[in-house]
Amino acid sequence: MQELKHFINGAYVAGTSGRFSEVRNPATGEVIAKVPLATPAEMADAVEKAAVAQKEWAKVNPQRRARVFMKFGQLINENMDALAECLSREHGKTLPDAKGDVQRGLEVVEVCMGAPALLKGEFVGDAGPGIDLYSIRQPLGVVAGITPFNFPAMIPLWKMAPAIASGNAMILKPSERTPMTSLMLAELIQQAGLPDGVLQVVHGDKEAVDAILDNETIQAVGFVGSTPIAQYIYGRAATNGKRAQCFGGAKNHMIIMPDADLDKAADALVGAGFGAAGERCMAVSVAVPVGKETADRLIEKLVPKIEKLKVAPYTAGEDTDYGPVITAQAKERIEGLITSGVDQGATLLTDGRGMKIQGYENGYFVGPTLFDNVTPEMDIYKEEVFGPVLSTVRMDSYEDALNLILDNQYGNGTAIYTADGDTARDFAARVDVGMVGINFPIPVPLSYFSFGGWKKSAFGDLDQYGPDAFKFYTKTKKVTARWFSGIKDGVALNFKAMD
């Protein structure tokens, strides 16, 4: 069993707390590593070293910083197979899905190669007699990223790349369940030329998180996880005067209109509902067919597709559709919610409880589960399942389906399948959700846009990656400059002096 270390000042450093968390292969239940849990003193030491490194890194001009990301992107591509293998082993994703995880993070790295264009300020010449006005973007200093287990490469890259490209130093605290991929990425960005200390990977649990939130040197915190923890981090960070962008839970609906192509809609629901074992904040977990005939036909198409899904460890081959969920506790929780759905009157069409795979009996596998006749009062609807469970909520009209989404506490992603442009435009305009798909099930924006939900899915004013990330990780300084080129000036006691 491997004993992991923190990554501080460009080198691996053993933890000193004496506390560890187990990293398990979800397909086997086997402990593959133990990860140290940092003390507040260890976190403070990492932050102090990052602050020293950041002062010099901020002096590097944006174009030269961008060159580090050019090399970093190249190294990620060269090490794609190794990164995917590591990710699959600690998370359980299939290898194609793991490569997709890395790829979506790499796309943000590629945007950071153009960071100089995103760090430009504004300029107005001759705003007044001999007066120029301009703004400049400057880094915040030391910032932190607290990232979840479900995307061990993508979300750390979403956090670290824009922050570092903007001239900051980053304290990255990856999930203690999937820390190994982050360590590989830290090694690669060091090979790309990042100075020691600009990226520190510090492992930990709530004690480490609180140390981040209470550290006066850390100026901003980015988080992805559950809504209760997002609210906690956002509130504590704000109390301590930090910027925060905290992304929480989701309950993503997909409306299927009577005029939709039901074959395409069914394929989309299977992919978006069961890919990555449903452990995505953008997973579609609620199908909302409009009208009885639409619902009946959709169910007829869904059941055989779902029954054909292959659930297996990532080592079983590229034809595996999805693997295990992350922990034994997650499996138990998901199966408990399935049972509650049955007890509360939903129609269980495919049952994923009690799944065992020969040779992997200790793995955390949950089979694909489909419910029909789910109602908004049921726990299976109200809670974020975060597993391979698709609930069907039948609605009589488009307005009823839209109101179902409007009434939900979450607002991360949503989709509609329809052949009618007016309906699609109305849906996009009226739905109160941050990311909307039209005949597209998982509407994650490309990396040169920004990612973020609404309502209880997100806390903070700015989204992840893209232009918003560079705004989040920089502060704007406004400069008013006057050069006295023959201008006669006297004492001015009013705001008209620039006229």
**Alpha-carbon distance values, 471 to 223, 376, 484 (Å):** 16, 38, 34
User: Is 281 designated active site?
Assistant: yes
Instruction: List b or e across 439-463, with b for residues whose CB sees 16 or more CB atoms inside 10 angstroms.
Output: eebbbbeebeebbbbebbbbbbebb
Contact between residue 286 and residue 381 where contact means Cβ atoms under 8 Å apart: yes
**Helices (H), ranges, 244-327:** 262-274, 292-307
Do residues 170 and 198 touch, judged by C-beta distance below 8 A?
yes
- What gap in Å lies between CA 415 and CA 403, rounded to an integer? 14
**Is 350 within 8 Å of 305 (Cβ atoms)?**
no
Any idea which residue has 């950071």 for tokens?
A: 112
Q: Which of 86, 112, 246, 281 is an active site residue? A: 281
- Contact assessment for residue 374 and residue 348, using Cβ atoms and an 8 Å cutoff: no
Return all residues near 44 (Cβ < 8 A) that are at least 6 apart: 211, 215
Alpha-helical segments (H) within 354-490: 379-382, 398-406, 421-430, 466-472
Which among 433, 319, 338, 440 has a CA at the least distance from the CA of 390? Answer: 338
Active-site residue set: 281
